[in-house]
Amino acid sequence: MRHAWTIAKNDLALRARDRSIFIIGLVAPLALAFIFNLVFGGGISDVGETITFEMGIANLDGGPIGEAFAGVLDSIAADGRLRIMEFDTAEEARQAADEGGTGAVFILPAGLSSSVLGGANATIEVVGNVDAPTTTQVASSIAEQFALGVRTADLSVGTAMATGALQPQDAIAAAGEAGTAPPAIEIGAIQAATRQIDSATYFVAGLSIFFLFFIAGMAVTSMLEERREGTLMRLLAAPINRKSITIGKSMASVLIGLGSMTVLVITSTLIMGAEWGSPAGVALLVVGAVLAVVALMTFAGAFAKTAEQAGNLQSIVAVTMGMLGGTFFPITQEGLLGKLSLMTPNAWFMRGLGELAGGGISAALPAFFVLIGIAVVSGSIGLFITGRMVKP
């Protein structure tokens, strides 16, 4: 173990000398954190704040349907989620959308109400600015939801009239009210299979473990580089157990990985307001994830003959694990994909953080033990196979 530590220290010194330890362990995580910050527009703390969309309306209808739609927009605007501009003509509205004066505009054509109430098809036109795709999508959703509401109201009013509960003279007003009424049944949030961390922390955590794969790969690539440079022969000629070499290399990777993850967790917490959960629980999961990933990458790299081959193999493993483990986007827990997902340290790290968000340190223990299990199994096989690499 003493010799393994000597080799680990030497590896760390070499990585410090060629600056890769700073690039991989410090600069890159910080750069990632910075990019996350940019992506999430000023920080995670802003996510909970209201985003205000700018939209416009050219209501050429003048009937109850047009008024009802304007009422819907007004009610959203009253919540502060929408700022509405009104246009007198469709051309003005289109021009405003084209020139970016507003994110999207609704054009309600003349005769909209009479067409709808007469049973004919009618169209609410949504014109979006090319640089505001999100606003345009939201506008389209509002229009579609309103159209759905109108169809529901039409059906309800029709039924009421057929049964005599509603007089024809009251039908138009009733239809308008029905179209804007809140839904009778609210669907509550469905409880997920595991508790969830907020989306920004999710992406920071996901990408940090993805990045960890590349740090962990250094254990094997470093050994293959030593073989190429001839220093491995010197290590093999020394009176040390050959396993000390692979263990020492892995120790260096583990230390760099732990340092890098720590930097990322602290940085994202301080400058982005990320909420990782209980520090002890996070520490536990980080340790488990680092050990599991280093072991997996040792296993993956053991099949390579050169450092370049090892790098390619490890990249494939990192991306595959990232995709399956939900690093880039949440994936379903069902079916084959769900089962495959549970074979990755990425998924268990994310799951552990999710559990941690809803409970104490004990909630993270199952994920921690699975990560350690992955580390033990793949690490044992990896060290066994890398034994064949430890030759001149």
Residue numbers of the site for another protein (CB under 8 A)?
A: 3, 6-7, 10, 13-14, 17-18, 229-231, 233-242, 391-392
In the complex, the smallest distance separating the C-beta of residue 392 from another protein, rounded to whole angstroms, is 5
CB of 239 to another protein, least distance (A): 4
List the structure tokens of 93: 């509205």
> What sign has the CA pseudo-torsion 35, 44, 334, 379?
positive
Q: How far is the CB of 22 from another protein (least distance, A)?
A: 14
Specify the residue, 151 or 228, whose C-beta has the smaller distance to another protein.
228
Nearest to 386 by CA among 226, 212, 209: 226
Nearest distance in Å: CB 255, another protein: 17
Q: Nearest to residue 379, comparing CAs of 317, 319, 291?
A: 291
**Spatial distance between the Cα atoms of 340 and 314, rounded to a whole number of angstroms:** 18
3-state SS assignment for residue 185: coil
Taking only Cα atoms into account, the Rg of the chain, rounded to an integer number of angstroms, comes to: 30
Q: By C-beta, is 231 or 312 nearer to another protein?
A: 231
In the bound state with another protein, the residue whose beta carbon lies nearer, of 10 and 152, is 10
Q: Which is nearer to another protein, 13 or 343 (CB)?
A: 13
Strand partners, 82: 53
Task: Using alpha carbons only, give the angle 279, 253, 27 rounded to the nearest 5 degrees.
Answer: 70
Least CB distance to another protein at residue 28 (A):
20
Q: In 330-360, which positions are buried (b, 16+ CB within 10 angstroms) versus exposed (e)?
A: ebebeeeeeeebeebbbbbbbbbbbbbbeee
Min separation Cβ 326 and another protein, Å? 38
Neighbouring CB atoms inside 10 A of 13's CB total 12
Q: Which residues pair with 106 in a beta bridge?
A: 57, 126
Q: How far apart are CA 46 and CA 54, in angstroms?
A: 19
Cβ 302 to another protein shortest distance, Å: 19
Could you give the 3-state DSSP secondary structure of residue 356?
helix
To another protein, the closest distance from the beta carbon of 271 in angstroms equals 33
Tokens of 144: 């579609």
CA 8 to chain centre: 34
Distance in angstroms (rounded) separating the CA atoms of residues 29 and 204: 10
In contact, 246 and 390? CB cutoff 8 Å: yes
CA distance 327 to 331: 9
The residues that bridge with 107 in the sheet, in sequence order, are 58, 125
Question: Of the two residues 109 and 387, which places its CB atom closer to another protein in the complex?
Answer: 387
Compute the least distance from the CB of residue 20 to another protein, in Å. Answer: 10
Structure tokens at 359: 């409970």
**Sequence-ordered alpha helix ranges (H) in 273-306:** 279-301
**Nearer residue to another protein within complex by CB, 17 or 49:** 17
The least CB distance from residue 259 to another protein, in Å, is 20
Nearer to another protein, 204 or 219 (CB): 219
Residues 6+ apart with CB under 8 A from 41: none
Between residues 15 and 351, which has the closer beta carbon with respect to another protein?
A: 15
In this structure, what DSSP letter does residue 44 have?
G
CB of 195 or CB of 242, closer to another protein: 242
- Residue number, 83 or 391, with CB nearest to another protein: 391
